[in-house]
Structure 1
């Protein structure tokens, strides 16, 4: 494969015009690049760290076969090992620094090994995720008492408090407060609280705006002392039903495969696994002795 089959740009609109149809062709599998590209188009680079991304598409004879986005790290659509190697070679020649790669497990693993060969960086598996797509929505039984309620501006402090607890639980390093909120990955999501009959919030779920017919549920969080009562299932059903009612054709979510409780819950309410995901961090190569 010729390295110049990969076309790189910082022009968000041009990339969308050339690669948008490819990304929308498999909206469930392309959930991450679709939502990231939509955020860049809607809010600009200031909402994603303040620097322009490097966007790439693998194109032959006018047909796009894969894409990547290099922002905080490298996000890839599905690649063969040969195509992963060609991309790693090109990015290494261009001198790009890659803190991490995120992709379906086979692609991420192939790229991580290729980056080790071409850039001398040592990959370390940081996260494994499982991507689910909603089949037939099945509300949990028994259903906890209460109701879902859209989160409003008056709930902002409560929401940010729960987001901070959520990021701590999952090991994300991010500042979440009034000053930093707009730059976080949570700022452009829609949130729903599950409330008990007396109006006390007990769980929350977020969701992305619909793009390419796809909505991703993210995050889902219940404080530790309230878990095991069915609240997470109830609020996930609530936002999933709302996504379907608004016209979504694909409703997806990520889960930690090492957490049997959440995986069993999502499958009980109708989600089915479609792909395993992996994130590899890269340690820089050691300098040669002088």
Structure 2
């Protein structure tokens, strides 16, 4: 049993194809990151079956997909390349972190949800959805910065224009408009890979909250993902936010697995 690593996304796809297809939901982060990751890895059993996958984003942040406990415990990075942050399913991340012997702290606890039967919000919010256009990019970039702040990230020095523009050009970012035409909420969906797509970047400015706009735009983008061919529509919620967890479950999302992000508080030996 061993880990293999590559910087070649095509080689990774070929090696881990069966696992990625069979466990698309549990591998959603890896599927999303694999074309931009600095490094990709897979864990092979003695019979050649691949039972673990990960993607390492710069600078040194692995995201686990479906990973066995044995694979998590056996994962070792070269000296000087030890990760600063690791994310993935809770049990696997804890097994890896404990095996390193390094001190660590939990920075976020998430829950992965999968859409069952889509249930429109009741009562329906006032207004309507529309696909974002290029003219919307300036204020959407500002909203993306505010979203980052809301989820505890530090946006200092980051320009969100490219991040937003890619999603707008692809037609993957949806707005909710109030009856007077003002954009009041947004949500985005990832490209569909292995039949799965993930809703993200759900944001409503503070002044517009409490009116059901997030429910309206999430329902709209989830429906668009389904209509676009995604057999599995996924999203992550922060377990510290009971409001969003309750909202998504009312829309028909059901829990899949719990996820954990940890930060190592001392360098590797």
Deviation sequence 1:20-64 (CA, Å, 0-9, x none): 332121111111111112xx2xxxx5xx6xxxx221111133321
Q: Equivalent residue for 2:246?
A: 264
Distance 1:142 1:156, change over 3 A: same
Structure 2: how far apart are the matches of 1:255 and 1:126? 14
Q: CA RMSD in A?
A: 1.8
Structure 2 portions without partners, runs of 5+: none
State whether structure 2 residue 68 is matched by structure 1 residue 80. Answer: yes
SS in 2 for 1:77: strand
Deviation sequence 1:47-97 (CA, Å, 0-9, x none): x6xxxx221111133321111122230111233333212113xx25x6522
Alignment TM-score, normalising by the size of structure 2: 0.91
Number of aligned positions between the proteins: 261
Deviates more, 1:20-29 or 1:148-157: 20-29
* Match 1:69 to one of 47, 55, 78: 55
Structure 2: how far apart are the matches of 1:240 and 1:8? 34
Structure 2: how far apart are the matches of 1:170 and 1:225? 17
Alignment TM-score, normalising by the size of structure 1: 0.85
Contact 2:138 2:161 in 1 (8 A): no
The structure where helix makes up a greater share of residues is 1
Measured after TM superposition, the shift of residue 7 of structure 1 is 1.1
Contact 2:6 2:39 in 1 (8 A): yes
Structure 2: how far apart are the matches of 1:67 and 1:263? 27
* Match 1:230 to one of 202, 208, 212: 212
Structure 2: how far apart are the matches of 1:158 and 1:176? 15
State whether structure 2 residue 159 is matched by structure 1 residue 173. Answer: no
Contact 2:115 2:233 in 1 (8 A): yes
Structure 2: how far apart are the matches of 1:286 and 1:96? 9
Deviation sequence 1:130-183 (CA, Å, 0-9, x none): 110000000011101211011111100011011111111111123443xx633x
Contact 1:24 1:34 in 2 (8 A): no
Q: Equivalent residue for 2:43?
A: 58
Distance 1:159 1:176, change over 3 A: farther
* Match 2:9 to one of 8, 12, 31: 12
Distance 1:115 1:255, change over 3 A: same
SS in 2 for 1:20: helix
Distance 1:115 1:271, change over 3 A: same
Measured after TM superposition, the shift of residue 217 of structure 1 is 0.3
Distance 1:80 1:29, change over 3 A: closer
Structure 1 portions without partners, runs of 5+: none
Contact 2:29 2:64 in 1 (8 A): no
Structure 2: how far apart are the matches of 1:71 and 1:147? 36
Measured after TM superposition, the shift of residue 12 of structure 1 is 1.9
